[in-house]
């Protein structure tokens, strides 16, 4: 008989991943365009500050405000027909944001 080790973390990962589409639909329903966002790249970043419509990290401006929905740091492709970069969504913890990669 095979004594395969159980990893409860694997079950938790699968459960959390199955929730992503549901949560993204909620965000769409609230008016946010979620096309091109790589939710698997999402990570929490701390120690950021907001000042004068910009997001700052260690004294460096890293992103700008987009009508109060999120901060964006973006670049254009070589032919300037594509955009890519990072979005920063504010959390309920001061100085903490969710950083995600996007391209369109």
Cβ atoms of 73 and 79 closer than 8 Å = no
Q: Answer yes or no: is pLDDT of 100 > 70.
A: yes
Question: What DSSP string describes 37-77?
Answer: EEEEEEEEE-SEEEETTEEEETTEEEEEESTTS-EEEEEE-
pLDDT of residue 20: 92
pLDDT of residue 60: 96
First-to-last C-alpha distance (Å) of the chain: 50
Chain center to CA of 55: 14
Q: Answer yes or no: is pLDDT of 69 > 80.
A: yes
With pLDDT > 70 as the criterion, what percentage of the chain qualifies? 99
pLDDT in tens, 4-54: 888 899 999 999 999 999 999 999 999 888 899 999 999 999 999 999 999
């Amino acid at each position: 008989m095979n004594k395969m080790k159980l990893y409860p973390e694997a079950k938790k990962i699968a459960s959390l991943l199955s929730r992503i589409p549901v949560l993204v639909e909620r965000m769409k329903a609230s008016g946010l365009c979620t096309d091109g966002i790589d939710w698997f790249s999402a990570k929490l970043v701390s120690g950021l500050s907001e000042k004068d419509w910009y997001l700052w990290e260690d004294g460096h401006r890293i992103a700008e405000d987009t009508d109060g929905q999120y901060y964006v740091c973006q670049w254009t492709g070589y032919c300037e027909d594509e955009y890519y970069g990072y979005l920063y969504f504010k959390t309920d913890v001061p100085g903490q944001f969710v950083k995600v990669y996007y391209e369109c």
